Amino acid sequence: MNRRTALGALGTAIFVPVVGYSSARDGSTVSVRFWLTPGAARYTGLEGCVRRLLRRGLAFDHWTVEVTAGGVVDIGTESAAETMRSGRWPGAVGAGIAGVRDVDPVWDVNLLVTDGSLADSPSGYGVPHVAAVGGASALTTVELDGSFDEPVPITDATFASQLVLHEVGHAFGLSHEDGSRYERSGSSVVTPMLSLYGWRREQLPESTCGGPVTSGPPAEGKDRQLDLTFSDCARRSLRTYDGNHLG
Protein backbone atom coordinates (compact mmCIF):
# COMPACT_ATOMS: atom_id res chain seq x y z
CA MET A 1 0.00 0.00 0.00
CA ASN A 2 1.50 3.36 -1.03
CA ARG A 3 1.42 6.45 1.15
CA ARG A 4 -1.47 8.14 -0.70
CA THR A 5 -3.58 4.99 -0.45
CA ALA A 6 -2.78 4.68 3.25
CA LEU A 7 -3.69 8.33 3.86
CA GLY A 8 -6.87 7.88 1.85
CA ALA A 9 -7.85 5.01 4.10
CA LEU A 10 -7.04 7.16 7.12
CA GLY A 11 -9.13 10.04 5.78
CA THR A 12 -12.08 7.72 5.30
CA ALA A 13 -11.63 5.97 8.64
CA ILE A 14 -11.53 9.26 10.56
CA PHE A 15 -15.12 9.96 9.56
CA VAL A 16 -16.59 6.48 10.00
CA PRO A 17 -17.19 6.90 13.78
CA VAL A 18 -19.39 9.94 13.25
CA VAL A 19 -22.49 7.84 13.92
CA GLY A 20 -25.71 9.17 12.43
CA TYR A 21 -24.06 12.11 10.72
CA SER A 22 -23.09 10.45 7.47
CA SER A 23 -26.44 8.69 7.17
CA ALA A 24 -28.15 12.06 7.20
CA ARG A 25 -26.11 13.28 4.23
CA ASP A 26 -27.28 12.78 0.67
CA GLY A 27 -24.95 15.09 -1.25
CA SER A 28 -27.59 17.75 -1.94
CA THR A 29 -25.81 20.09 0.48
CA VAL A 30 -22.05 19.89 0.92
CA SER A 31 -19.97 21.51 3.63
CA VAL A 32 -16.47 22.79 2.95
CA ARG A 33 -14.43 24.36 5.74
CA PHE A 34 -10.94 25.80 5.47
CA TRP A 35 -8.33 26.74 8.04
CA LEU A 36 -5.22 28.91 7.78
CA THR A 37 -1.83 28.09 9.25
CA PRO A 38 -0.08 30.86 11.21
CA GLY A 39 2.06 31.65 8.16
CA ALA A 40 -0.95 31.88 5.88
CA ALA A 41 -2.89 33.99 8.36
CA ARG A 42 -0.34 36.79 7.93
CA TYR A 43 -1.83 37.69 4.54
CA THR A 44 -4.60 40.27 4.67
CA GLY A 45 -7.67 39.28 2.71
CA LEU A 46 -6.69 35.64 2.25
CA GLU A 47 -9.77 34.27 4.00
CA GLY A 48 -12.10 36.15 1.66
CA CYS A 49 -10.12 35.08 -1.42
CA VAL A 50 -10.29 31.40 -0.49
CA ARG A 51 -13.98 31.63 0.35
CA ARG A 52 -14.82 33.22 -3.03
CA LEU A 53 -12.68 30.72 -4.92
CA LEU A 54 -14.36 27.73 -3.30
CA ARG A 55 -17.85 29.12 -3.76
CA ARG A 56 -17.24 29.88 -7.43
CA GLY A 57 -15.31 26.71 -8.24
CA LEU A 58 -17.89 24.42 -6.63
CA ALA A 59 -21.00 26.25 -7.85
CA PHE A 60 -23.04 23.49 -9.51
CA ASP A 61 -26.78 23.23 -9.89
CA HIS A 62 -27.01 19.75 -8.33
CA TRP A 63 -25.98 20.80 -4.83
CA THR A 64 -25.77 23.68 -2.38
CA VAL A 65 -22.28 24.49 -1.10
CA GLU A 66 -21.69 25.81 2.41
CA VAL A 67 -18.20 27.34 2.67
CA THR A 68 -16.98 28.38 6.11
CA ALA A 69 -13.70 29.44 7.68
CA GLY A 70 -12.42 27.49 10.68
CA GLY A 71 -9.82 29.99 11.85
CA VAL A 72 -6.09 29.55 12.42
CA VAL A 73 -4.52 26.21 13.34
CA ASP A 74 -0.86 25.44 14.01
CA ILE A 75 0.20 22.10 12.53
CA GLY A 76 3.92 22.68 13.11
CA THR A 77 4.90 23.15 9.46
CA GLU A 78 4.00 25.32 6.49
CA SER A 79 4.59 22.49 4.01
CA ALA A 80 1.16 21.43 2.76
CA ALA A 81 2.34 18.01 1.62
CA GLU A 82 4.13 17.38 4.91
CA THR A 83 1.02 18.20 6.94
CA MET A 84 -0.67 15.35 5.08
CA ARG A 85 2.13 12.82 4.61
CA SER A 86 3.06 13.04 8.27
CA GLY A 87 -0.57 12.56 9.26
CA ARG A 88 -0.56 15.85 11.21
CA TRP A 89 -3.50 17.49 9.46
CA PRO A 90 -5.66 14.35 9.15
CA GLY A 91 -4.79 13.65 12.78
CA ALA A 92 -5.84 17.15 13.83
CA VAL A 93 -9.15 16.70 12.01
CA GLY A 94 -9.65 13.37 13.77
CA ALA A 95 -8.79 14.93 17.12
CA GLY A 96 -11.34 17.64 16.41
CA ILE A 97 -14.03 15.04 15.80
CA ALA A 98 -13.10 13.42 19.11
CA GLY A 99 -13.34 16.81 20.82
CA VAL A 100 -9.74 16.86 22.00
CA ARG A 101 -8.48 19.63 19.71
CA ASP A 102 -9.79 23.08 18.80
CA VAL A 103 -10.58 22.05 15.23
CA ASP A 104 -14.26 21.77 14.36
CA PRO A 105 -14.46 19.63 11.20
CA VAL A 106 -17.28 19.41 8.70
CA TRP A 107 -18.32 16.24 6.95
CA ASP A 108 -17.40 16.77 3.30
CA VAL A 109 -14.13 18.71 2.92
CA ASN A 110 -11.66 20.02 5.49
CA LEU A 111 -9.01 22.14 3.76
CA LEU A 112 -5.81 23.54 5.27
CA VAL A 113 -4.24 26.54 3.51
CA THR A 114 -0.53 27.00 4.25
CA ASP A 115 2.23 29.40 3.33
CA GLY A 116 4.13 26.57 1.65
CA SER A 117 6.00 27.25 -1.57
CA LEU A 118 4.35 26.54 -4.91
CA ALA A 119 7.78 25.41 -6.10
CA ASP A 120 7.54 22.39 -3.80
CA SER A 121 6.42 19.16 -5.39
CA PRO A 122 3.79 18.27 -4.48
CA SER A 123 2.42 21.69 -3.51
CA GLY A 124 -0.68 20.13 -2.03
CA TYR A 125 -2.28 16.85 -1.05
CA GLY A 126 -5.83 15.61 -0.89
CA VAL A 127 -7.51 12.40 0.32
CA PRO A 128 -11.17 11.68 1.18
CA HIS A 129 -12.57 14.55 3.28
CA VAL A 130 -9.14 16.11 4.03
CA ALA A 131 -6.79 18.28 1.95
CA ALA A 132 -3.97 20.81 2.28
CA VAL A 133 -2.51 23.34 -0.15
CA GLY A 134 0.35 25.81 -0.19
CA GLY A 135 0.50 29.15 -1.98
CA ALA A 136 -1.20 31.43 0.53
CA SER A 137 0.66 34.52 -0.67
CA ALA A 138 -0.33 33.86 -4.29
CA LEU A 139 -3.98 33.27 -3.45
CA THR A 140 -4.29 36.81 -2.10
CA THR A 141 -3.52 38.19 -5.57
CA VAL A 142 -5.99 36.12 -7.59
CA GLU A 143 -8.61 37.99 -9.61
CA LEU A 144 -11.61 35.73 -10.08
CA ASP A 145 -13.64 38.00 -12.36
CA GLY A 146 -13.55 36.32 -15.76
CA SER A 147 -11.15 33.59 -14.62
CA PHE A 148 -13.90 30.95 -14.83
CA ASP A 149 -15.12 32.06 -18.26
CA GLU A 150 -12.02 31.29 -20.31
CA PRO A 151 -8.65 29.56 -19.78
CA VAL A 152 -6.11 31.79 -18.05
CA PRO A 153 -2.32 32.18 -18.36
CA ILE A 154 -0.19 30.39 -15.79
CA THR A 155 0.80 32.68 -12.93
CA ASP A 156 1.41 31.94 -9.27
CA ALA A 157 -2.11 33.18 -8.54
CA THR A 158 -3.88 31.07 -11.17
CA PHE A 159 -1.83 27.96 -10.37
CA ALA A 160 -2.55 28.35 -6.65
CA SER A 161 -6.25 28.69 -7.47
CA GLN A 162 -6.26 25.56 -9.61
CA LEU A 163 -4.31 23.74 -6.89
CA VAL A 164 -7.06 24.47 -4.36
CA LEU A 165 -9.69 23.05 -6.71
CA HIS A 166 -7.47 20.05 -7.52
CA GLU A 167 -6.99 19.02 -3.90
CA VAL A 168 -10.59 19.73 -2.94
CA GLY A 169 -11.53 17.51 -5.88
CA HIS A 170 -9.44 14.72 -4.36
CA ALA A 171 -11.20 15.30 -1.03
CA PHE A 172 -14.52 14.66 -2.79
CA GLY A 173 -13.09 11.50 -4.34
CA LEU A 174 -12.04 12.70 -7.80
CA SER A 175 -8.86 11.36 -9.41
CA HIS A 176 -6.40 12.73 -11.97
CA GLU A 177 -8.26 10.76 -14.63
CA ASP A 178 -11.25 13.06 -14.07
CA GLY A 179 -9.19 15.89 -15.55
CA SER A 180 -8.60 16.72 -19.19
CA ARG A 181 -6.14 18.40 -21.52
CA TYR A 182 -7.40 20.11 -24.64
CA GLU A 183 -6.39 22.62 -27.31
CA ARG A 184 -8.00 26.03 -27.67
CA SER A 185 -6.98 29.01 -29.79
CA GLY A 186 -3.41 27.84 -30.15
CA SER A 187 -3.02 27.01 -26.47
CA SER A 188 -2.72 23.74 -24.57
CA VAL A 189 -5.13 23.82 -21.63
CA VAL A 190 -5.50 21.60 -18.55
CA THR A 191 -8.44 21.39 -16.15
CA PRO A 192 -8.09 21.22 -12.34
CA MET A 193 -7.92 17.45 -11.79
CA LEU A 194 -5.17 16.96 -14.39
CA SER A 195 -3.37 20.28 -13.87
CA LEU A 196 0.38 20.35 -14.55
CA TYR A 197 0.50 16.55 -14.68
CA GLY A 198 -0.95 16.94 -18.16
CA TRP A 199 2.36 18.27 -19.43
CA ARG A 200 4.77 16.36 -17.23
CA ARG A 201 3.83 12.76 -17.96
CA GLU A 202 5.00 10.94 -21.06
CA GLN A 203 1.56 9.47 -21.64
CA LEU A 204 -1.75 9.97 -19.89
CA PRO A 205 -3.86 6.92 -19.04
CA GLU A 206 -6.35 5.82 -21.69
CA SER A 207 -9.08 6.31 -19.12
CA THR A 208 -8.26 10.02 -18.77
CA CYS A 209 -11.27 12.24 -19.45
CA GLY A 210 -11.61 12.69 -23.19
CA GLY A 211 -9.72 9.49 -24.01
CA PRO A 212 -6.00 8.76 -24.45
CA VAL A 213 -4.00 11.96 -24.83
CA THR A 214 -0.34 12.40 -25.62
CA SER A 215 1.29 14.10 -22.68
CA GLY A 216 4.59 15.89 -22.37
CA PRO A 217 5.24 19.55 -23.23
CA PRO A 218 2.79 21.18 -25.65
CA ALA A 219 3.77 21.42 -29.30
CA GLU A 220 6.15 24.19 -30.28
CA GLY A 221 4.40 27.52 -30.50
CA LYS A 222 1.55 26.58 -28.17
CA ASP A 223 1.10 28.40 -24.89
CA ARG A 224 0.15 26.59 -21.69
CA GLN A 225 -2.99 27.75 -19.93
CA LEU A 226 -5.13 26.70 -16.98
CA ASP A 227 -8.86 26.09 -16.91
CA LEU A 228 -10.35 26.81 -13.48
CA THR A 229 -13.54 24.91 -14.24
CA PHE A 230 -13.83 21.17 -13.70
CA SER A 231 -14.01 18.99 -16.80
CA ASP A 232 -17.30 17.46 -17.91
CA CYS A 233 -16.08 14.10 -16.56
CA ALA A 234 -15.34 15.60 -13.14
CA ARG A 235 -18.73 17.31 -13.04
CA ARG A 236 -20.51 14.06 -13.88
CA SER A 237 -18.62 12.32 -11.08
CA LEU A 238 -19.37 15.08 -8.58
CA ARG A 239 -23.05 14.79 -9.48
CA THR A 240 -22.96 11.23 -8.09
CA TYR A 241 -21.55 12.34 -4.72
CA ASP A 242 -23.88 10.99 -2.06
CA GLY A 243 -22.40 12.59 1.03
CA ASN A 244 -19.89 9.80 1.52
CA HIS A 245 -18.28 8.98 -1.81
CA LEU A 246 -18.76 9.21 -5.57
CA GLY A 247 -21.26 6.81 -7.10
Domain encompassing residue 74: 3-173
**Domain contains 151:** yes
What is the model's pTM? 0.89
19: pLDDT strictly greater than 50: no
13: pLDDT strictly greater than 70: no
Residue 130 parent element (H or E): strand 130-133
**Domain contains 117:** yes
pLDDT tens-digit series, residues 219-235: 666 799 999 999 999 99
**Domain contains 223:** no
Backbone φ and ψ for 75, nearest 5 degrees, come out as -105, -5
Spatial separation of the C-alpha atoms in residues 145 and 150, rounded to whole Å: 11
pLDDT tens-digit series, residues 80-136: 999 999 999 999 999 998 887 889 999 999 999 999 999 988 999 999 999 999 999
CATH number of 94's domain: 3.40.390
pLDDT tens-digit series, residues 134-188: 999 999 998 888 778 899 999 999 999 999 999 999 999 999 999 988 888 889 9
In the Cβ-directed half-sphere of 132, how many Cα atoms lie within 13 Å? 33
**Domain contains 182:** no
**Domain contains 239:** no
**Domain contains 101:** yes
Angle in degrees, CA 18, 19, 21, rounded to 5 = 75
| Count of the separate structural domains present in the chain | 1
18: pLDDT strictly greater than 50: no
**Domain contains 161:** yes
Hey, what long-range contacts does 196-204 have (CB within 8 A, 24 or more apart)? 196/159, 199/224
> What type of residue sits at position 156?
D
**pLDDT number for residue 135:** 98
CA quadruple 112, 232, 122, 117: dihedral positive or negative?
negative
**Domain contains 199:** no
24: pLDDT strictly greater than 70: no
Buried b (16+ CB within 10 A) or exposed e, 42-55: ebeebbebbeebbe
